[in-house]
Amino acid sequence: MKKIYLVFGMLGALISGTNAQSFSDNFDSYTSGAFLAASNSAWKTWSNKPGGSDDAKISSVKAKSGSNSVYFSSTAGTGGPQDIVLPFGGSELTSGTFELSMQIFVESQKKGYFNFQEQTTLGKGWSIDVNFDSLGKFNIVNTLNGTLLTGTYSTNQWVKVTVKINLNTNTWDFLLDDVSQGTFQNSYRKVASMDIYPTQNSSFYVDDVSYTYTPFTLPTLNGSITYIDKVLGKLSGQQVIPQVEIRNLGTTAITSAKIEVSYNGSTLSKTVSGLNLASNATRVITMDGSLLLVSGNHNITANLLEVNGSADDNSTDNTKSISITPLVPAIGKVVVAEEATGTWCQWCPRGAVWLKNMDEKYHGYVIGIAVHNNDPMTNANYDGGLKTKISGYPSMVVDRGADIDPSGMETDFLERIVVAPKGGIRNGAEYNATTRELKVSLITKFNTAVTGNYKLAFVLTEDDVTGTTNGYNQSNAYAGGGNGVMGGYETLPNPVPAAQMVYDHVGRIIYPNFSGLNNAFGSTINANDSFIHNFSLTIDPTWNVGNLHVVGLLIDPSGRIDNGSSVSLEEAIINGYVSGSTVLSVNKNTSLQNGVQLYPNPGKNYFGLILPAEVKGSAELVVYSAEGKQVHQETLTNSNNQINTSEWPAGIYFGSIQSNQGTMHIKWIKE
């Protein structure tokens, strides 16, 4: 998207009061069909080419007032090309108060969008992105905060949208038809322009745009509370250590400050000295002690009690209070986010940044898995499965839901974390450092009775992965900062050399395949039923055992992940390996697997299967390679069967046998 600068034009622009600025435009003086930026220099285009492909045309089809409005639409996958910018006076607004208002008409089943640019140089930072979806919901987000505010709006009718900002206290109020939908604080502390851009499947009209800005005159001694951090977007039951940002909105340097934070009957106090905080500078103060978040809506309030040992000259900005309503996570629920990525993908750093942010913010409640494509960290089995769920790179699926951009994962996470899972998984392991054989047990216990084909998959992930070849160089579209801030990638080159890259959450393997073990629990499951599944593999010598995580995925009949589990390999070993009746492990010579005799194992040109006497009628055998590719399928009509494997490559194979006794599983090694 592209954004703006404001040069006062012939319509409605005026300056009044003490450097106050106002602007308004109802588009009625323009000719229908004319380009907006070409008609009035107060409006710009992202490419700064009035009348070009990113200019928008005046429309007489709909109008809130008078006869004209501006129409935006796009069916392109990347949106656009229209991209209209309205600069707020040509400067970056950092203090005082600002208010923008406009009318928007989003057509049925279509979308609308606008954003505020943080800097006069376009693309350096998006203060807010305001999305109106096709279902009557809006959400306000940005890169640093994630979701700031959500709610509903009326489609197919005019809606007045107002954004009020107190830049002194960093308080943002979003209103629809003059009714506040909620206030929020923002990691971006300034605004410079508005950008109106039609995203894919957009169709909307804009009318009656206006803004007013009132500057602020600094008093002599004045401190302001501008941000309360590390408390929003959390879950009930989490312990948080608040951070409070103070700003010097006076002309005299601040050398000391006393701060108090209160929440749900608890108060934290701290006095800091030696600040030497210059005029307009900010400082983040980490409070001593923590607060336990509880369910329900409660205010958390920060007060600046003293500045330089006394009260300051302006008490109106000394207090900041925000309302927090921590979500109550469903008992035992862990959300799984699978990211489609690759070192060749220039936008994929976004996925890595969001996985890191989510892990820091919701540690223990979210499992991130980076599924690499076409680079040295690719697992063909995992990559091939995830590609069936996505439309491009980077992409992400949360609990195997809709394909989304990684920046939207928090919204999906918050929807899924409150959904009670049908079951939970306990991960155990046993590791032989000499042979590098890893044995894993996943114990699944169901919380409620269910029916249908529930599946199970085992995943191994690795953190702190590095490499030396060119394949580990990360392509980086954020280099130089032209595409905004992205977790530090804006300060790195393009590509980022392998020597500077560390990859986390790397999905090393998924067994038996992306879809999971078919009918892993039978078709009817009772509440409190428990099942043990065993897996084994030889750890690749290039993997760092100390950085591995054992992950379990419980997949429901629709293909969505019902629940996940993740522990470090060290924790899994402490939990212990438990051998169960469903075995996907290496067996020597003739063995009994779920009552099935399998011989010889390992073998070369064939293996024999003797089915249990309880199996009546035919049984269906399906065999997969370790990469998840189906290599064999046949109907077994005899109790004693011989399977020709002469054409199979050497390796490990998994099989499932469906019969009147349910599902039996085997694992066989071809030498």
- For the segment 92-146, what is each residue's pLDDT rounded down to a tens digit? 999 999 999 999 999 999 999 999 999 999 999 999 999 999 999 999 999 888 8
Q: What is the reported pLDDT for 582?
A: 42
Judged by DSSP in three states, 585 sits in coil
Would you place residue 87 in the very low, low, confident or very high pLDDT band (cuts 50, 70, 90)? very high
Query: Which residues lie closer than 8 Å to 488 by C-beta, 6 or more apart?
Result: none
* Residues 6+ away with beta carbon under 8 Å from 98: 88, 164, 165, 167, 191, 211, 212, 213, 214
Q: Which of 568-572, 582-586, 652-656, 662-666 has the highest mean pLDDT?
A: 568-572
Q: Are residues 216 and 193 in contact, defined by beta-carbon separation less than 8 angstroms?
A: no
| Bridge partners, 427 (sequence order) | 442
Tokens 């090393």 identify what position?
508
Euclidean distance between CA atoms 375 and 474, whole angstroms: 10
User: How many Å apart are CA 455 and CA 393, to the nearest integer?
Assistant: 27
| Strand bridging mode 366-372 / 335-341 | parallel
Q: What is the pLDDT of residue 627?
A: 63
- CA–CA distances in Å: residue 110 to residues 130, 131, 501: 15, 11, 40
Q: Is the CB of residue 457 less than 8 Å from the CB of residue 510?
A: yes
Torsion sign across C-alpha atoms 563, 382, 408, 168 = positive
What is the β-pairing status of strands 14-16 and 193-196? unpaired
| pLDDT band, residue 179 (cuts 50/70/90) | very high
- Beta-bridged to residue 451, according to DSSP, are 524
Euclidean distance between CA atoms 142 and 126, whole angstroms:
7
pLDDT band at 595 (very low <50, low <70, confident <90, very high): low
Residues in contact with 325: Cβ distance below 8 Å, sequence separation at least 6, in sequence order: 296, 297, 298
CA distances (Å), 594 to each of 171, 425, 656, 665, in order? Answer: 63, 21, 10, 7
Cβ–Cβ under 8 Å, residues 20 and 215: yes
Q: What is the 3-state secondary structure (H, E, C) of 294-328?
A: CCCCEEEEEEEEEECCECCCCHHHCEEEEEECCEC
Per-residue pLDDT at 5 exceeds 60 = no
Give the number of residues written for the chain: 671
User: Residue 176 and residue 178: Cα distance in Å, rounded?
Assistant: 5
For residue 653, give Cα distances in angstroms to 364, 454, 517, 629, 665. Answer: 33, 22, 13, 10, 11
110: CB partners within 8 A, 6+ apart = 73, 134, 155, 201, 202, 203, 204
- DSSP three-state, residue 150: strand
Average pLDDT over residues 169-195: 96
Residue range 245-261, pLDDT digits in tens:
999 999 999 999 999 99
Residue 619 has pLDDT above 90, yes or no: no
Per-residue pLDDT tens for 385-444? 999 999 899 999 999 999 999 988 998 999 999 999 999 999 999 999 999 999 999 999
Nearest to 115 by CA among 53, 81, 159, 161: 161
Question: Residues 6 or more apart from 434 whose CB is under 8 A from it?
Answer: none
Provide the residue type at 249 as one letter: L
Tally the C-alpha atoms within 13 A of residue 52's C-alpha that lie toward its C-beta: 12
- Nearest residue to 244 (alpha-carbon basis) of 310, 315, 305: 305
Tokens 């100390």 -> residue = 546
Helix (H, G, I), strand (E, B) or coil at 610: strand
Q: Tens digits of per-residue pLDDT, 19-50?
A: 789 999 999 999 999 999 999 999 999 999 99
CB-neighbour burial class of residue 220 (10 A; exposed 0-12, middle 13-18, buried 19+): exposed
Q: Rounded to the nearest 5 degrees, what angle is found at the Cα of 281, between the Cα atoms of 278 and 286?
A: 110
What element of type H or E holds 571?
helix 569-575
Residues whose CB falls within 8 Å of the CB of residue 280, separated by 6 or more in sequence, listed in order: 94, 95, 218, 247, 248, 249
Strand-pair partners of 567: 550
Indicate the burial class of 522 (C-beta count within 10 angstroms; 0-12, 13-18, 19 or more): middle
CA separation for the pair 636, 664 (Å, rounded): 13
What mean pLDDT, rounded, does the chain reach? 90
d(CA 487, CA 397): 21
H or E stretch covering 570: helix 569-575
Which secondary structure element, helix H or strand E, spans residue 61, and what is its range?
none
pTM higher than 0.85, yes or no?
no
Residue 594 has a pLDDT of: 53
Which residue type sits at 510? I
Burial class (CB in 10 A: 0-12, 13-18, 19+), 301: middle
Tokens 């408390």 belong to 231
Average pLDDT over residues 613-621: 80
Instruction: List, in sequence order, the alpha helices (H) in 75-141.
Output: none
- Tell me the pLDDT band of 238, cut-offs 50, 70 and 90: confident
